[in-house]
Amino acid sequence: MNIDDVVAQIQVREPATSFMPVQPEWVDSVAKRFPGMPDDLRHLYTTYGYGSIGESRYMIHCLLAPDEIYDPETARDLDGVLIVGDDFAGHCEAFHAANGWLFGSIGSNGNFESYDGIYSSFTDFLEQWFVADEDT
């Protein structure tokens, strides 16, 4: 599925989902600072924006720096990482933008871990968590 299909399915399955627009200049500034922003992520932000999936089930962030969530010591160890989502239960999805936009997560231990071999993209993550049938 592409990001448009995933968002459409999420909106059907989670009617309380809401998105807020993102300024194109913001997307451009991030892409300039960290070249190679994944196309699906750029499309998500420029077409839909950021916001919540369902009633506080998951939050798609407007790429946060680690120091916006974590204490200074933890944030220091996450240099070059940008947080894209939050499950409100201690895990955040993130991109190591300074390392080729490697997609992964930050767990309760405060370390970035790659999703290599698990999810191919943020779109794939959203599809698997919020669209795929539970019995598949």
Looking at residue 136, what is its pLDDT? 42
Whether residue 135 lies inside any domain: the answer is no
Domain that holds residue 19: 3-130
Q: Supply the angle between the helices 24-33 and 39-47 in degrees, to the nearest 10.
A: 160
pLDDT tens, per residue, the chain with 136 residues:
999 999 999 999 999 999 999 999 999 999 999 999 999 999 999 999 999 999 989 999 999 999 999 999 999 999 999 999 999 998 999 999 999 999 999 998 999 999 999 999 999 999 999 999 754 4
Domain harbouring 95, CATH code? 3.40.1580.10
In the block, tokens 């990482």 appear at: 81
Can you tell me the distance from the alpha carbon of 7 to that of 17, in angstroms, rounded to the nearest whole number? Answer: 9
Report pTM.
0.93
- Give phi and psi for 85, each to the nearest 5: -155, 165
Whether residue 55 lies inside any domain: the answer is yes
Whether residue 76 lies inside any domain: the answer is yes
Whether residue 136 lies inside any domain: the answer is no
Number of compact structural domains in the chain: 1
Whether residue 60 lies inside any domain: the answer is yes
And the tokens for 117?
Answer: 């071999």
* 8-state DSSP, 89: S
Q: What is the DSSP string of 30-79?
A: HHHHSS---HHHHHHHHHT-EEEETTTTEEEEEEE-GGGTS-HHHHHTTT
